[in-house]
Structures are given as C-alpha cells and as structure tokens.
A and B are shown apart, each in its own frame.
Chain A
C-alpha cells in the first residue's frame, strides 16, 4: 500500500502541475476519479494483469470505455500510464491528486463519525471549531457509528481527534 503511493507520487505531482498551468484543476479531478473507478473494476484488473492483452489492445479498450468523458490531455496521460505499465496506480494517483488539490485550495477533508446523526447547525459548529484547530477550511463528511456510545471522532488525514465515550472508556481502562 505504502509502496504504491510512493510509485504514484511522481504521476500525481506531474498531473497536478499540469492542471494548475492549464487551469483545469477540477476537470482533471473528474477524469482521474473516472479512471480510478474504472481501474477498481474486477474485470478490468484481470484484463490489465493479463499478459496476453497487448498495450495497443488495452489502449483501444480504455478509450472505448471513456473516450467521450476524457479530454485530450487526459487521454495522453492514460497512454503514458499504459506505456509505463502503471495503470494499476490510478486509484492512488487520484487520491494523491485530491490531497494536493485540497492543500492548494487551503481546505482539508474531515471525516466526522458520531454516535447520533448531526444536525446542520451542529455540523457548522464543528466546521468552525475544527477550522480554528487545524487552521484550514474544513470540508466535513459525516457518518454514524452507534458503537461510539456518545461523542464524536474527527479524522483529518493521519490526525485523529477522539472525543467519543468509547475512546474515553479505553483511556480509563488503560489507567486502571
């Protein structure tokens, strides 16, 4: 997993630089997302891994699938990936690209898990406090996990802020 993202990094960086130069950051985001979805398809993975399928055949196949949704630059990028035999990295490239994009635009994706569903008001409150703590605009996605008992867990990349009852119980257990 970690090795894949190391391999994907130069691609993601190159794409992101190109996207900024041509001013098409969100277009690229869409096309990379599409590519990564295609590559996550089980049949697709099997085809890529099949040594009998030549790179020409692969190119035609992929262009058939997403021709209309990709711009010329994206098609070129796809060809580079096929040539270097790195198609399998598409999901990681997309992920890294999104993180560069987030960094560039000065926001951070935060995943908030809570025991009960949050109202709009509560979400806004979260967003503003997290903004203060992390120093960046916050894009919140929410999910519900009853096993937390109460409270919330906020995840931003590696960083985890654990304010759940479950986490506190674990802390207490450790102390005893």
Chain B
C-alpha cells in the first residue's frame, strides 16, 4: 500500500484539532525488580486484576498478582528497556483487541496487530479478551452440523455448531491436518474460521497460511499467532484473543469455527508465568487454576438463541441464532491421555477425536480411533443422510475391531465372521482420505451407501479407494442433479436412496477402476 503524504498530514491535523486537553489523574508505581518477563511494581494500590499497566516507551504489561505492597506484572512483549525505578501507570482498562470483518483474511498477533505485511486492519470495534461466557438463558441446544469434510469424522463423530470437540493425539498424528481440512471445508458455507496458533514454529504457521491461501480458504479465516519465540504472556492470551474475535461473529447471529492449536502449549506458557510469579505449583508443576484457564475459554464456545442475538445487536439482527464452535487441540506424550492437561480438557469438551500414531503409521489417515472417539452432542446435529448411513459404518467397524483381535489366533473362521472381518477391512480402507480434499455431504453419502449396501464386499481391499474415486467422478459427471439434491436437502428419502442405488449399479456395469 502506498502512503499518501497529504492524507496523512491531514489526518494528523485532524487529530491535533480534536485532541482533548485533559488533566490526567492516575495511580503510579515504581519498578522494583525485573525477572524473566515478570516485573514487580511497588505502589499501584488501585490496580485491578488483569488490568493493563503502562510502562515507559509505550509498552504494556498485565497485572496478575495483587499483593499488599506490590503488584506482579507479566510483560506483553519486549521489556529490555525497562529498568528498576521506572514509573508505571494504571490505565484503568483490561486488555482489548480489535474485532470485526476486516480481520478476515489476515494474520495477527495476540494483541490484534497485523503481522502479514498487508497494512493496518481497518476495524472500528474492540472487545476485551476476557469475557464471561453466555448464561444459561441465552443458550440454545446444538442442532446444526459443522461439516468437517472428513468421512470418518462426519459419519462417526459428528460436530455440531456451538459444540466443543477436542482433537487429541501424539505429535505427528495429523491433528493440525484435520483442523486445516475443516477450515477449507467451510468455504462458501458462511462459517467464519479462526485459527489460533500457540507456541508453534513460525515455519509451521507460514505453512498453514500458504495452504489456506492455495485452497482459497484464507478469505474467511482469521489467523492469530503467538509463536514459540514470543513472550509467554502473549502465548497465554492468544486463545482468548481469538475467542473474542470469534464471539464477534457469534453475537451477530453468524456461525464461527475456532481452532486452538494447541492448548497444551498454552498451559505450558501459563505454567511458566505462574512459577515465575511464585504461585504454588501443583500436579506436574501446573498452578491450581490451570483447569479454569481452559474451562473459561471453552465455555465461551456456544450457541446462543435468537433473543440473545437480538439483544446483543440492539435489535438489528432478528430471527437468527449465533454459534461459536471450538476445536481445541491437545498434544499427548506417548499416547498418555491420563496426564493432567489432557484429562482436564477431555472433561470440559463435548467429546474428542482421538488420533493414534499406530494407525497413522499403518497408513490409516486421518488416524482416527473410532472406538475411543466420541461426540456427546453432535448426533443431534448430524445431517439425516449421514446419520442414517453412519450408524452402519460405526457398527461395522466396532464388530471388526472385536473380531480382528480374536481372529488373529483362529485359522479357520465361520462364514459370517469372515464376512464381517472382510466388511470391516473394506470400511477401514474407505475411511481413508487424502489431506486437503474435504468431501461434500452428497459425496460422503454415496461412499457410505456403497459400503452399507455391500458394493465393496466383492472388491479387492487394495482396490477400494480406486473404486471410490472412480465412483465419485462418475457421480459428479453423470448424476450432478442427484448430488445437488442431496447437498440441498440432506435427506435420505426412499427416492434418494433408490437414486443412489441405481446410479451405483449403473456405474458398476459400465465402468472399470
């Protein structure tokens, strides 16, 4: 963007004209000690918990420990220029970040400053980062789906709008991949996405941005990043910042999807801050309120009813509900879900998608463990066609798992057991899906129908995916009307069922794969 000099000096002139000369009254304190991003300030008797404190050279800190004679402050950013004896002012405000439509397509830091080199973000509104979640009266139950575009998840572990579904697994099991596919699949649905990267490598974040750009999905996405090199306080705040940006859409009666990648690192950052603030350490050296930092964050993901939207918008938006769906990510160490932070977040969320390295390494990607993954509320929100067909898939896989373990020891099996194992193998194969290729409801419906009706049973296991790919391209070219109809209605009526059945039969007769 080119700077226009006259415009700028005009702007400045206007600002000077409108500058209100006021006598400023504030509370002051003095810096006593500086250690690893934690500053102890003497005085500031009127400081509030979480208040922004102003340091010299326009730097800010957040008051976290209020003691009798001193205040413990964490710095938001560089603190090298601050020295003992500097004065600190109370601002009387808690941390606020810009929110609004203008943030879509942008990459910002934890304080809402753009870091993508595309110039200033033209927002007018700001919102505090810490807000109380909507109350009981304001809420509505989850009954609309968020399609993540992944067969294995949408059919077996459906996610509804306003739900909190945890993605949990070891490193290198494809957690972020699921999140990115979910964002890509929201293209054209009106669901705004927020991707919060906490404590990650800058290169990984750059990669995510590039992938989203390639798949034309950046335009409906806000990326909030606090990378590994940034101050612990910024890594701690990032999820709350992202959440406030998401709540803006929810409170306007729109739908938003937020991904926290990942909350383990946020807990680490908070642990660092707490230990430096000399708060007593508890289990795994986390402070006592590590549960609360996650519960208050995830409680804010919710679906609010029409009355609440109308109230929040001042009557401008009527008859619309708003939602903020959260997909927090937790990284486990060696598959240990009974560690402190994983158990906490599992108990807070409405279900989890459990990813396993064994599955991932044996080529089952997404590496979803269908047995341990659940969705506690998503079933009510599932599209009819997926719901009807998904039940069969789930059952097939459950029976297969049971028999597969047992069948390892038996050489000859009876006919029905063998059939079930073969069906299971084929369904497992069908559940594999490439990255960056989310599927529509109709595409999923056709694949699941083929599995349910036994079309895969006669195939060689290795051929299942080729068959599926050929079938999808046939349906796309020959049965576009039918597919459109399924996508529009989401129904699995007799007519649609017959339509799919006869289309697949026709495909088998005419095509090869």
What residues of chain A have their CB less than 8 Å away from a CB belonging to chain B? Answer: 1-3, 5-6, 9, 155, 157-163, 167-168, 171-172, 174-176
Q: Complex Cα distance A175/B346, Å?
A: 45
How many A-B contacts if CB must be within 8 Å? 57
Once the chains bind, are A176 and B15 in contact (CB under 8 Å)?
Answer: yes
Q: Complex Cα distance A172/B32, Å?
A: 28
Once the chains bind, are A167 and B24 in contact (CB under 8 Å)?
Answer: yes
Q: Complex Cα distance A161/B68, Å?
A: 23
What residues of chain B have their CB less than 8 Å away from a CB belonging to chain A? Answer: 12, 15-16, 19, 21-30, 32, 40, 42-46, 58, 67-70, 89
Q: Complex Cα distance A1/B68, Å?
A: 12
Q: Complex Cα distance A172/B19, Å?
A: 7
Query: In the complex, which residues of chain B have a beta carbon less than 8 angstroms from the beta carbon of A176?
Result: 12, 15-16
Of A1, A9, A158, A163, the residue contacting B23 (CB under 8 A) is: A163
Which B residue sits closest to A165, measured CB to CB?
B21
Which A residue sits closest to B32, measured CB to CB?
A1
Once the chains bind, are A175 and B19 in contact (CB under 8 Å)?
Answer: yes
Query: In the complex, which residues of chain A have a beta carbon less than 8 angstroms from the beta carbon of B16?
Result: 172, 176
Which A residue sits closest to B45, measured CB to CB?
A158
Once the chains bind, are A158 and B46 in contact (CB under 8 Å)?
Answer: yes
Known interface pairs A158-B27, A167-B24; 11 further A-B residue pairs with C-beta atoms within 8 A, sorted by A's residue number: A1-B32, A2-B32, A158-B43, A159-B25, A159-B46, A160-B28, A160-B89, A162-B23, A162-B24, A171-B22, A176-B12
Query: In the complex, which residues of chain A have a beta carbon less than 8 angstroms from the beta carbon of B28?
Result: 155, 158-160
Q: Complex Cα distance A162/B26, Å?
A: 8
Query: In the complex, which residues of chain B have a beta carbon less than 8 angstroms from the beta carbon of A163?
Result: 23-24
Query: In the complex, which residues of chain A have a beta carbon less than 8 angstroms from the beta carbon of B43?
Result: 158
How many Å from the CB of B23 to the closest CB on chain A? 4
Query: In the complex, which residues of chain B have a beta carbon less than 8 angstroms from the beta carbon of A9?
Result: 68
Which A residue sits closest to B28, measured CB to CB?
A160
Q: Complex Cα distance A176/B10, Å?
A: 12
Which A residue sits closest to B41, measured CB to CB?
A2
Query: In the complex, which residues of chain A have a beta carbon less than 8 angstroms from the beta carbon of B26?
Result: 159-160, 162
Q: Complex Cα distance A6/B28, Å?
A: 19
Q: List 25 A-B contacts (CB under 8 A).
A: A1-B42, A2-B32, A2-B70, A3-B69, A5-B69, A6-B68, A155-B28, A157-B45, A158-B43, A158-B45, A159-B28, A160-B27, A160-B28, A160-B89, A161-B23, A161-B24, A161-B25, A162-B23, A162-B24, A162-B26, A168-B21, A171-B19, A171-B24, A172-B16, A176-B15
